[in-house]
Structure 1
Amino acid sequence: MYFGILGLGLLPIVIGILCGKRFHWYETLISVFFLILTFGGPKLTQGFALIAYLIYEVLLVWCYTKYRKKNNNTGVFVSAVILAIIPLVIVKLTPAIQNGKQSIIGFLGISYLTFKAVQTIMESRDGVLKAFNPWFFLQFLVFFPTISSGPIDRYRRFKRDYDRVPKQGKYLQLLQKGLHNIFKGFIYKYMLAYVFGTMLLPKLEHQALMAHGLSWSLVGVMYVYSMYLFFDFAGYSLFAVGTSYFMGIETPMNFNSPFKSRNIKDFWNRWHMTLSFWFRDYIYMRLVFFFMKHKVFKSPKTTANVTYILNMTIMGFWHGVTWYYVTYGILHGAALVVNDWWLRYKKSHRGQIPHNKFTEVFATFITFNFVCFTFLLFSGFLNKMIMMK
C-alpha cells in the first residue's frame, strides 16, 4: 500500500525532471503529505512535537546566520550549538530520569534533524555557508525520504541537487540506481532482516536466557542480531536513497559492505557512513583542533587517542543513556586507539610483519567478531540476562 502511494506521488516529479523541469512546490506538497502519513493517527503527538521543533530550529539557525554575517563571537556560537541540541538532550535524558517514560517533545527522527541543524550552524561559523535561506533550510530538514533514520545529508550538497535539474541521461541512470536500491532494500528489510530478526533471533534469545550464562545460544544471538541490525538498517537506508534518486537528489549511501572491513577504522568508513563522517567532521576534528590550539596534550598521538575515546563515547550517549550504549561507544573508541597503535607499529617494523592474503582474511575475521560482540552489548540483551538473574 505504502509503496503504491509512494509510486503515484513520485510520478509527477519523475515526469517533470524527464521534461527538464523541477516542481519545487509539488516536492514540498509531497513531503508534507508523507509527513502527515508518518506522524498522523497514533503518532499525532509526535507530529505536533515535530512542528514545534521545526519552528524552533529554523528560527535559531536563521538568527545565528544573520548574526554571523557581522559578528563572530565564540560564546554566541557555542550558545547556538547548545540551544540546537537541547531538545535532543531532553529527549535522550527523559527515559533515564523518568523510568523509561518518553519525552513529550520527542518524535521519530529528532536526532537526524538535530545533526542537520548543528552542522548548518557550524558551517555558518566556519564561513563556508555564504547564503542561508530559512525556507530552503526547512525543505532540507523535512526531506521525507531521510527524515526518520537518515542518511544524514549536508546542507550545501543537498542544495546543489535541489537547485538544478539533472540532464536526462544522468537522471535515467539515477532512476535505474534508485529502482535497484529500492528492490535491494526490500530484500534486505523484508526478507533477510525478517529471517534473522523474526524467525531466528527470538528462539536463540529464549534459549540463551534459559541457559543462564555463556552458551552457544548466546553466541548465536551475537551473530544473528548483528545480521538483523545490518539488514534492517541498511534496507531502510536503501529505500531512502532510492526514493531520493527518483526525486533527483543524490543522497549519500550509508553502508558499504561493512563486514568486509579489515580494521575498525575501515569499519567506520563503511558502517552508517553519514553518521560516522558527521561525528568525524563536527566532533572529532573540532575537538582535535581545540586540544592542539590550547596545547592540552603535548603529544599529537595522545590528542588523537583521547579524542577517539571522547568522540565514540559521545556517540554511545547519543544512542541512549544506558551502560550498554556507553560501553559500546567506549569500546569502539578504545579499538580505534589500538588500531592506530598497530598501524604505527607495522609501519615502523615494515618487512618484519607478514602481509598477505591470509593476514588480510585474519584481520577481517578479528574485526568482524569484535564488531559483533559490541553489537551484542548494543542490543541490550546482556542487560536483560543480568536483570533476570
Structure 2
Amino acid sequence: MINLQPYASPTYFILLIITLLPAMIALYYGRRLQIYEAVWTFGFLVLTFGGNKWHQGLALIFYVIFQLLLILLYQRYRKQHNSTVVFITMVLLSILPLVCVKLAAGLALQKLSFLGFLGISYLTFKTVQIIMEQRDGTIKAIRARNFLRFLLFFPTVSSGPIDRFRRFQADVVKLPDRDTYARMLDKGTQFLFRGFVYKYMLGYLFGTLWLPKIAQLAMAHRQAFHGLGLSWSLLFYMYDYSMYLFFDFAGYSMFAIGISYFLGIKTPQNFNAPFISHNIKDFWNRWHMSLSFWFRDFIFMRVTFFIMKKRLMKNPVRISQVAYLINFLVMGFWHGLTWYYIVYGLFHAVAIILNDVWLRFKKKHLKGLPHNSLTEGIAIFITFNTVCLSFLIFSGFLNTLWFR
C-alpha cells in the first residue's frame, strides 16, 4: 500500500478534491452526507497511516479508543459529582500518551516510541479541551460519533489548526445556504492557492534552496574563527529560518483551512501577518493563533484563576507574570524535551513580561511619547528581531553550531 503524506504531493491534492466532490455537491444543495464523509475520512486515514506506517495506524486506533473512553466516563461521572482530583486525573490521563511520545523522543526511549503517530499533539489539545469544558459545564453532553468526527476531522489531523468542539459542532449542524457555501468554496480555493505559494514557492525558496547553504556557511565561519559562530552568516540563518518556518507552517494551515471550507466547516485561521506585530503580545495574537489562544484559555487563565482562588499571591501583576512563565514553559516542554525548546518558551515568557513592564512604565511616566509611523516602525522592527532571535533558538541550529 502506498502512503500519502498530507498536503505533500500533487497526487494527494488531486485525490483529495476528486473524492470530496460528492460531499461538496451535496452541501451546495443543502445536504451533508455524513456517512460518505465518515467513509472518506476513514479512507484517507488508511492511506496516511496504513502500509509501512501500520504501527502509527495501530497507535492511532488505541489512542482514539482510550480518549473516547475517558470522555464518556468523565461525562457520566460529571452528572453527579464534581471532584477536582478526578478532573485532574482525567486531564493527566488524556495527556499521558503525548507525554510518553515526547519522553521517547527526548530521552531516546524506544520502548515508548510505538505510541506516536502523526498529529498526536493536535488530537491531544482537542481531547483536553473537551474534558476541561465538561468540567466547566459548557459542554453538557457529547455523543461518541460527534467526538470522533471532531477529533478525526481529516483536514486538520496532521497540521491543525486547533478547533473548538462547540464551534465545530455548530458548523456541522447548521448547514450553509447556497450563497454562503459558494462564498466558502471561493474562500477555500483562495486558501489553497495561497498555501501553494507559501509552502511550495516561498517555503521551498527559504527552506530547501537557501537554508542548507547558509547553515554550511555559518559552520564554516565558526571553524574559521574558532569562536561561537556569531557572524553575519548566523544572522542570515536566523532571518532565513524564520521566513521558512512561517511560510511552510502557514502554507500547511491554509491547506487545512481551505479543505475544511470545502466541507462547510469554517476552521479558524492560524496566522494573521505576525511579522508586523507591534509587540510580543501582539505577535502571539497573530502567530499560530489556535495554539496561542488554546494556551491562553486553558493554561494561562486557569493558572491565574487558581492562584487568585487559593490566594497564593495578591499582586495581580505578579500573578500574571507567574502565569506567563508557567504558560510558556509548558509550551516549551510541549515542543520537546531539549534545552532549546525549553529556552524558547522561557525566552517568550521573559519577553512578554518585559513588554508588560514597559507598557506600564510608558503609561505612567512617558505619556507624552509620540505615537506615529516612525515609532510604530521602530516597534515592529524590535518585535520582528526579537521573534527571529527566538526562532533561531527554536531551530536547534545553535545546538549544532556549539556542540557539534
TM-score using structure 1 length: 0.98
User: What is residue 48 of structure 2 aligned with on the other side?
Assistant: 38
User: What is residue 28 of structure 2 aligned with on the other side?
Assistant: 18
Alignment of 1:192-203 (within 5 A): 192-203=202-213
Offset at residue 235 of structure 1 (A)? 0.1
User: What is residue 373 of structure 2 aligned with on the other side?
Assistant: 357
For 1:20 and 1:96, locate their aligned partners in 2 and report how far apart those are by CA, in whole Å: 48
For 1:384 and 1:128, locate their aligned partners in 2 and report how far apart those are by CA, in whole Å: 46
Structure 1 residue 132 corresponds to structure 2 residue 142:
yes
Offset at residue 44 of structure 1 (A)? 1.4
For 1:200 and 1:68, locate their aligned partners in 2 and report how far apart those are by CA, in whole Å: 54
Alignment of 1:240-279 (within 5 A): 240-279=256-295
2:184 counterpart letter in structure 1 = L
User: What is residue 242 of structure 2 aligned with on the other side?
Assistant: 226
Counterpart pick for 2:392 among 376, 381, 387: 376
Offset at residue 102 of structure 1 (A)? 6.8
1:67 counterpart letter in structure 2 = Y
Offset at residue 97 of structure 1 (A)? 2.2
Could you list the runs of 5+ residues in structure 2 that have no partner in the other structure?
Answer: 1-10, 223-228
For 2:163 and 2:51, locate their aligned partners in 1 and report how far apart those are by CA, in whole Å: 28
User: What is residue 300 of structure 1 aligned with on the other side?
Assistant: 316
Offset at residue 41 of structure 1 (A)? 2.0
1:227–1:100: structure 2 CA closer, same or farther, 3 Å change rule? farther
Offset at residue 178 of structure 1 (A)? 0.1
For 2:27 and 2:328, locate their aligned partners in 1 and report how far apart those are by CA, in whole Å: 41
Deviation track 1:244-290 (CA, whole Å, cap 9, x = no partner) reads: 00000000000000001000000000000000000000000000000
User: What is residue 94 of structure 1 aligned with on the other side?
Assistant: 104
Counterpart pick for 2:342 among 326, 330, 338: 326
- Secondary structure, aligned partner of 2:115: coil
Structure 1 residue 145 corresponds to structure 2 residue 133:
no
For 2:196 and 2:75, locate their aligned partners in 1 and report how far apart those are by CA, in whole Å: 40
For 1:29 and 1:2, locate their aligned partners in 2 and report how far apart those are by CA, in whole Å: 17
CA contact under 8 A between 1:91 and 1:102: conserved in structure 2?
A: yes
Offset at residue 100 of structure 1 (A)? 8.0
For 2:94 and 2:109, locate their aligned partners in 1 and report how far apart those are by CA, in whole Å: 25
Deviation track 1:352-373 (CA, whole Å, cap 9, x = no partner) reads: 3222111111000000001001
1:101–1:62: structure 2 CA closer, same or farther, 3 Å change rule? closer
2:74 counterpart letter in structure 1 = Y
Offset at residue 40 of structure 1 (A)? 1.7
Structure 1 residue 29 corresponds to structure 2 residue 39:
yes
For 1:211 and 1:311, locate their aligned partners in 2 and report how far apart those are by CA, in whole Å: 37
For 2:340 and 2:196, locate their aligned partners in 1 and report how far apart those are by CA, in whole Å: 30
For 1:298 and 1:60, locate their aligned partners in 2 and report how far apart those are by CA, in whole Å: 36
TM-score using structure 2 length: 0.94
CA contact under 8 A between 2:103 and 2:109: conserved in structure 1?
A: no
Question: How many residue pairs are counted as aligned between the two chains?
Answer: 388
For 2:146 and 2:109, locate their aligned partners in 1 and report how far apart those are by CA, in whole Å: 39
For 2:367 and 2:342, locate their aligned partners in 1 and report how far apart those are by CA, in whole Å: 39
For 1:99 and 1:115, locate their aligned partners in 2 and report how far apart those are by CA, in whole Å: 23
User: What is residue 348 of structure 1 aligned with on the other side?
Assistant: 364
- Secondary structure, aligned partner of 1:107: coil
CA contact under 8 A between 1:95 and 1:101: conserved in structure 2?
A: no
- Secondary structure, aligned partner of 1:194: helix
For 1:350 and 1:211, locate their aligned partners in 2 and report how far apart those are by CA, in whole Å: 43
Give the CA RMSD over aligned residues: 1.1
For 2:302 and 2:248, locate their aligned partners in 1 and report how far apart those are by CA, in whole Å: 32
CA contact under 8 A between 2:75 and 2:134: conserved in structure 1?
A: yes
Deviation track 1:179-220 (CA, whole Å, cap 9, x = no partner) reads: 000010011111110000010000000000111111111111
User: What is residue 73 of structure 1 aligned with on the other side?
Assistant: 83
User: What is residue 238 of structure 1 aligned with on the other side?
Assistant: 254
1:127–1:97: structure 2 CA closer, same or farther, 3 Å change rule? same
Counterpart pick for 1:5 among 1, 15, 18: 15
CA contact under 8 A between 1:113 and 1:141: conserved in structure 2?
A: yes
CA contact under 8 A between 2:100 and 2:112: conserved in structure 1?
A: no
For 1:177 and 1:185, locate their aligned partners in 2 and report how far apart those are by CA, in whole Å: 12
Deviation track 1:316-371 (CA, whole Å, cap 9, x = no partner) reads: 00000000000000010011101111111122135332221111110000000010
User: What is residue 116 of structure 2 aligned with on the other side?
Assistant: 106
% same residue: 56
For 2:43 and 2:362, locate their aligned partners in 1 and report how far apart those are by CA, in whole Å: 55
Structure 1 residue 215 corresponds to structure 2 residue 231:
yes
User: What is residue 122 of structure 1 aligned with on the other side?
Assistant: 132
Structure 1 residue 52 corresponds to structure 2 residue 62:
yes
Deviation track 1:85-117 (CA, whole Å, cap 9, x = no partner) reads: 000000001122227887110001101100100
For 1:370 and 1:272, locate their aligned partners in 2 and report how far apart those are by CA, in whole Å: 17
For 2:323 and 2:132, locate their aligned partners in 1 and report how far apart those are by CA, in whole Å: 19
